[in-house]
Amino acid sequence: MLIKQFSDSYKELKNLNTLVMTALLIAVGIVLGYFSIQITDTTKIGVSFVATQLTATLFGPVVGGIMGGVADILKFIIKPTGAFFWGWTFNAILGPVIYGIMLYKKRLTLARILISKIVVAIVVNMFFGCLWSSMLYGKAFWVLMGTKAIQQVIQVPIQSIIFWMVVKALQKAKVFHQLSR
């Protein structure tokens, strides 16, 4: 089943509508990123995740991962914040891949969205995020993990509800009937 998901998502790349929609969602994600609030050097609150998660949900893990990587690099080129580090780009790819695996061609429920957010929070944001921050800033991994865990406990339910409301609005407007499965 996982191989089929990746295969189907790869085939989405041949569809012009997919490419156009992905490009638009990259642009939306970059613009939404300008409206985030920087809390600390490594913590910001925003809604740009909606574009990335929506791409992975609509077009799967391959398209989502490519979109995440391209968007991360474009964000850095347009408005660099510090030095470029490949680890953050890896995170920008891995998160949408996980969302694609868990949400692409699946019935979207709040529980499924919440579980996908929890997996991304633990694997990408907490583990890899703390690993990269530890490598870059020389801070202790476990100290960073405690702070990041608190942040994720707050953000995961909020982001899950926001994404759920976006999905419900798109379903109701019949913009993306694909989300109704």
- With H, G, I as helix, E, B as strand and everything else as coil, classify residue 30: helix
Q: Which CATH topology does 2-180 take?
A: Arp2/3 complex 21 kDa subunit ARPC3 (1.10.1760)
Structure tokens at 70: 């391209």
CB 51 within 8 A of CB 161: no
Percentage of the chain exceeding pLDDT 90: 76
Buried b (16+ CB within 10 A) or exposed e, 54-75: bbbbbbbbbbbbbbbbbbbeeb
Percent of the chain with pLDDT over 70: 94
Residue 179 has pLDDT above 80, yes or no: no
102-137 confidence digits (pLDDT tens)? 999 999 999 999 999 999 999 999 999 999 999 998
Residue 150 CB contacts under 8 Å (≥ 6 apart), including other chains: none
The answer to whether the CB of 89 falls within 8 A of the CB of 129 is no
| pTM of the predicted model as reported, rounded to 2 decimal places | 0.91
The residue written with tokens 């990123």 in the block is: 33
Amino acid making up residue 27? A
Indicate the helix (H) or strand (E) that contains 45.
Answer: strand 44-45
Which residues, in sequence order, are bridge partners of residue 37? Answer: 45
Asked if residue 48 lies in contact with residue 67, where contact means CB atoms within 8 angstroms, the answer is no
Helix, strand, or coil (residue 81): coil
pLDDT tens per residue, range 37-86: 777 665 677 899 999 999 999 999 999 999 999 999 999 999 888 889 99
pLDDT of residue 43: 66
